[in-house]
Amino acid sequence: MSQADLSPVRVAAIAHIVLFVKDPEASAQWYCEMLNMSISARAGDGPYKGGVFLSFGVHDHDIALFPNDAPDEKGREFEHIGLRLATDSADDLRRIYAFFLDNGVKIAEVLDHGVSTGIYFYDPDGHMLEVFHQRVSPEGGASIAELRGNEGQADPVELEPLRNPDPSGN
């Protein structure tokens, strides 16, 4: 049996990147002018305060810019890489959470963003990644409107791991 048969994680694409920058507003202006992006939200409060979320026009954000509180520290160039799952099932996210816990993956946190629920975790070298369940569809700009309305919400939540029943009854 291959590892692909054991892991419930099915990633469809890199969904977004989050960068630490000196001045999120100035950087956002550059991204808007140079890459034709638009600001979908500004973080009002909480862990992302001062952050700016940018979109190419479909998803709630494709790039997020956070203030860098340690500009000379290497390894702080990016905050995390968001991975869009191939499925948008809340139960699949709970199965992935159980899989991570059962396999010793270091979990940073689980956050409710209003538009999605994300599991933030570390690779063996300490890089943070996120897999998430998208709760608000990008269709018609719905996820952009939600993220703008909730000002980049990032509320810690408890996620109940969902383990597949043991077919042997053990």
Task: Output DSSP code: residue 163.
Answer: P
Contacts of 90 (CB under 8 A, 6+ apart): 117, 133, 135
Whole-structure pTM over 0.85, yes or no?
no
The pLDDT tens digits of the residues spanning 155-165 come to 999 999 999 77
pLDDT band for 167, please (50, 70, 90 cuts): low
* β partners of residue 80: 18
Q: CA-CA distance, 137 to 65, in Å (whole number)?
A: 22
**What tokens does 23 get?**
């001045």
Residues 117-156 pLDDT 10s: 999 998 876 778 899 999 999 999 999 999 999 999 999 9
